[in-house]
Amino acid sequence: MHPCLSCGACCAIFRVSLHWSEADPEQGGRVPIELTEPLRTHERAMRGTSQANPRCIALDARIGEYSRCTIHDRRPLVCAQVAASLEFGERSVQCDRARQAHGLPMLVEADWIGVAEAEKNPLPEI
């Protein structure tokens, strides 16, 4: 099983900022606008992430036990760009920091044994 499916820490520590067009259906945006809120002139944020104890509104999880993004196929680009540590052979500062903040151990190579390449989240092209 992909380690992210038993984690969810990154969705409960970082503010998720996105360009307003990602949530504008007239501009081809895929992120449901009702799950976002205005942030700055050209930015929106996922609801729940711009507060002292962030937790994305789209997160369905018990951190460290199970996790899923309810809009995974429509999540903001910034979310898709965060790789889990060692998913592609390198550590992820964001992943490590989020896991540490929630008292979870950092991922190690053994966590990826049995995870097929097809199950890994491909990083989108920028």
Q: 125 in a domain, yes or no?
A: no
Residue 66 lies in a domain: yes
- Decide if 83 is inside a domain: yes
78 within domain boundaries: yes
Q: What is the pLDDT of residues 80-111, one digit of tens each?
A: 988 899 998 999 999 999 999 999 999 999 99
Q: How many domains does the chain have?
A: 1
The pairs formed by 20-25 with CB atoms below 8 angstroms and a separation of 24 or more are: 20/44, 22/76, 22/77
Share of the chain above pLDDT 70, in %: 94
107 HSE (CA, 13 A, CB side): 29
pLDDT confidence tier of residue 124, bands split at 50, 70 and 90:
low
- Kindly report the CA angle at 44 between 41 and 50, in degrees rounded to 5? 115
Residue 117 lies in a domain: no
Cα separation, 58 vs 45, in Å, equals: 12
Q: What pLDDT score does 119 carry? A: 74
Phi, psi of 46, deg, nearest 5: -65, 135
66: DSSP letter:
E
**What is the pTM (predicted TM-score) of this model?**
0.89
Flag whether 53 is in a domain. Answer: yes
Q: Helices marked H in the chain — which ranges?
A: 77-80, 93-101
Kindly state whether residue 96 falls inside one of the protein's structural domains. Answer: yes
Which residue segment(s) compose the domain that 10 sits in? 3-109
